[in-house]
Amino acid sequence: MQILIVEDEIRIREGIRKLLSKIDSDYIVAGEAEDGIAGLKMCEELKPDLVITDVQMPEMDGLEMLQAIYDKGIMTRAIVLSAYSEFEYARTAMKLGVTEYLLKPISLNDLSRALETIKQKIAEDKKKKPEQIGTLEQTFREILSGRMEVGKDIADYLSNGYGIKRSQNFVLLYAYLGAQYETEWESGIRKITSSLSTYKGIRFCIVEEEYKKSLAVVVYDYESGADLERWIQFQLLEHLSDYSVMGFVEAKGIDDLKAAADRLFPYMDWNISFQDNILISYPKITNVQTGLCVYPQEIESQMKAAICASDHLKEKQLVSKFMDTFGDGKVYFPKEIKECYVRFIWAILEMAKNIGLSRAEEIKQQKLLEQIMNAKTRSELKDICSMILDIFEEGEREQDSSNLTIKRAKRLIHEFYNTGITLDEIAGKLNITPEYLGTQFHRETGVTFSTYMKNYRITKSKELLVGTSMKLYEIAERVGYTDPKYFSKVFKDVTGQLPADFRKTSK
What is the structure's pLDDT at 448? 93
Amino acid sitting at position 168: Q
Q: Give residue 424's pLDDT band: very low, low, confident or very high (50, 70, 90).
A: very high
Q: Same structural domain for residues 213 and 351? A: no
> Is 171 within 8 Å of 219 (Cβ atoms)?
yes
The answer as to whether 80 is a domain residue is yes
User: How do 214-221 and 100-103 pair as beta strands?
Assistant: unpaired
Is the pLDDT score of 490 beyond 90?
yes
Which residues are paired to 103 by β-bridges? Answer: 82
Amino acid sitting at position 354: N
Q: Return d(Cα 276, Cα 280) in angstroms, integer.
A: 10
Q: Looking at 129-133, 158-162, 330-334, which range is the least confident one? A: 129-133
Summarize pLDDT for 165-204 with one digit per residue, the tens: 999 999 999 999 988 888 888 888 888 888 888 888 899 9
Is the pLDDT score of 457 beyond 50?
yes
**Mean pLDDT of the 270-298 span:** 89
CATH of the domain at 156: 3.30.70
The answer as to whether 310 is a domain residue is yes
Looking at 287, 313, 334, the residue that finishes a domain is: 287
Residue 69 parent element (H or E): helix 62-71
Amino acid sitting at position 63: L
Q: Same structural domain for residues 501 and 439? A: yes
Element counts in the chain: helices (H) and strands (E): 22, 10
> Is 430 within 8 Å of 421 (Cβ atoms)?
no
Q: Same structural domain for residues 164 and 277? A: yes
Is the pLDDT score of 436 beyond 80?
yes
Q: Return d(Cα 267, Cα 265) in angstroms, integer.
A: 5
Q: Looking at 99-113, 161-175, 331-345, which range is the least confident one? A: 99-113
pTM of the model: 0.59
**Nearest partner of 20 among 7, 40, 33, 1, judged by Cα:** 1
Q: Interior CA angle at 234 toward 232 and 236, to 5°?
A: 45
- Residue 100 gets the label, from left (phi > 0), alpha (psi -120 to 50) or beta, of beta
More confident residue, 381 or 125: 381
The answer as to whether 292 is a domain residue is no
> Is 480 within 8 Å of 504 (Cβ atoms)?
no
Looking at 108, 127, 146, the residue that finishes a domain is: 127
**Mean pLDDT of the 227-244 span:** 77
Q: Same structural domain for residues 408 and 461? A: yes
Q: Looking at 66-70, 100-104, 372-376, which range is the least confident one? A: 100-104
Looking at 127, 159, 184, the residue that finishes a domain is: 127
Q: Same structural domain for residues 10 and 76? A: yes
Q: Same structural domain for residues 282 and 163? A: yes
The answer as to whether 159 is a domain residue is yes
CATH of the domain at 454: 1.10.10.60
Q: Same structural domain for residues 7 and 96? A: yes
Q: Same structural domain for residues 425 and 492? A: yes
- Count of CB atoms situated within 10 Å of the CB of 392: 21
Q: How far is CA 358 from the centre of its chain?
A: 31
Q: Same structural domain for residues 387 and 409? A: no
Q: Same structural domain for residues 429 and 388? A: no
The answer as to whether 79 is a domain residue is yes
Question: Mean pLDDT score of the chain, rounded to an integer?
Answer: 85
3-class secondary-structure state, position 103: strand
The answer as to whether 244 is a domain residue is yes
What is the structure's pLDDT at 472? 94
Q: Same structural domain for residues 477 and 393? A: no
What's the domain range around 358?
297-399
The answer as to whether 391 is a domain residue is yes
Residue 276 parent element (H or E): none
Q: How far is CA 326 from the centre of its chain?
A: 21
In the chain, the number of structural domains is: 4
Q: Same structural domain for residues 359 and 413? A: no
What is the structure's pLDDT at 21? 85
More confident residue, 441 or 70: 441
The answer as to whether 24 is a domain residue is yes
> Is 273 within 8 Å of 332 (Cβ atoms)?
yes
Q: Return d(Cα 469, Cα 304) in angstroms, integer.
A: 14
Q: Taking the CA atoms of the chain, what radius of gyration do you get in angstroms?
A: 34
